[in-house]
């Protein structure tokens, strides 16, 4: 990602990223005229095919699910990439004519006039992103485990019974002995899921 200090490419692009398709707008950096518009698939193959042999472009994209890998791919193709902070792009979000085409053109025009208007940021590298994904996945698993434990405890309380306090990792073993028989068809499958190997965590889950 550039801070806009080096010489500006002759063509500036706005790429509005979608889950399946993305919309591209190219404008002349000197005169500001739109010179190309179109849609392409949001896949590494399609993007590399479109941009690998292209002259150097300044390409603006918004932060989102696909922006980390797309920005890396475009930079590998030799382009200057500006990753715009989507939360601060009031021009796009306040526009009542918001469409993929309009968003792509606005991105291109902002990048042409002054990259700082995009509040550009730098994504983590692929390795750091993968490490963060591990952390977030573990957090999601622990959160799901806690939610399941709380659900079982609540269901048992609604039948006038209570489950003993115990560490979350051994909950499935201790709880089954205290669950009313009538609730086993509903809660048994949850305990079976909990018996699967769970992520290590120091926090214990207990209830009143």
Give the mean model confidence (pLDDT) for residues 60-75.
Answer: 95
Query: Could you tell me the two tokens for 171?
Result: 């909950």
Choice between 60 and 101, residue whose per-residue pLDDT is larger: 60
For residue 167, pLDDT over 70 is answered with: yes
Instruction: Please give the Cα distance from 53 to 159 (Å, whole number).
Output: 68
Model pLDDT, residue 3: 46
For residue 93, pLDDT over 80 is answered with: no
> pLDDT digit string (tens) for 19-65?
999 999 999 989 999 999 999 999 999 999 999 988 999 999 999 99
Report the share of the chain in percent with pLDDT over 90: 43
Tell me the pairing of strands 11-16 and 34-41. Answer: unpaired
Residue 130 banded pLDDT, cuts 50, 70, 90: confident
> What are the residue ranges spanned by the domains of the chain?
11-123, 127-194
Choice between 155 and 141, residue whose per-residue pLDDT is larger: 155
Query: Could you tell me the two tokens for 1?
Result: 């990602």
Instruction: Please give the Cα distance from 65 to 48 (Å, whole number).
Output: 18
Instruction: Please give the Cα distance from 111 to 92 (Å, whole number).
Output: 13
Give the mean model confidence (pLDDT) for residues 190-203.
Answer: 60
For residue 96, pLDDT over 70 is answered with: no
The answer to whether 62 and 107 are in contact (CB under 8 A) is yes
42, 74, 125, 165, 202 from 205: Cα distances, Å: 42, 46, 35, 8, 10
- CA dihedral defined by 90, 103, 87, 21, rounded to 10 degrees? 170
For residue 155, pLDDT over 60 is answered with: yes
In Å, how far from its chain's centre is CA 98? Answer: 21
Model pLDDT, residue 91: 60
- CA dihedral defined by 52, 54, 56, 62, rounded to 10 degrees? -70
Q: Does domain 11-123 have CATH number 1.10.150.80?
A: no
């Amino acid at each position: 990602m550039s801070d806009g200090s080096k010489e500006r490419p002759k063509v500036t692009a706005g790429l509005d990223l979608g889950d399946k398709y993305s919309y591209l707008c190219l404008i002349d950096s000197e005169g500001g005229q739109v010179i190309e518009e179109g849609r392409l698939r949001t896949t590494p193959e399609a993007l590399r095919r479109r941009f690998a042999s292209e002259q150097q472009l300044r390409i603006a994209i918004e932060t989102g699910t696909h922006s980390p890998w797309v920005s890396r791919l475009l930079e590998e193709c030799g382009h200057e990439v500006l990753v715009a902070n989507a939360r601060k792009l009031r021009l796009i979000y306040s526009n009542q004519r918001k469409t993929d085409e309009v968003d792509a053109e606005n991105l291109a025009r902002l990048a042409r006039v002054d990259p700082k208007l995009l509040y550009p940021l730098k994504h983590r590298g692929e390795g750091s992103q993968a490490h963060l994904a591990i952390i977030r996945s573990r957090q999601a698993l622990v959160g799901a485990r806690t939610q399941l434990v709380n659900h079982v405890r609540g269901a048992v309380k609604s039948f006038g019974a209570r489950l003993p306090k115990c560490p979350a990792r051994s909950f499935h073993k201790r709880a089954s002995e205290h669950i009313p028989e009538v609730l086993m068809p509903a809660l048994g499958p949850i305990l079976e899921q909990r018996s699967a190997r769970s992520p290590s965590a120091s926090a214990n889950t207990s209830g009143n």
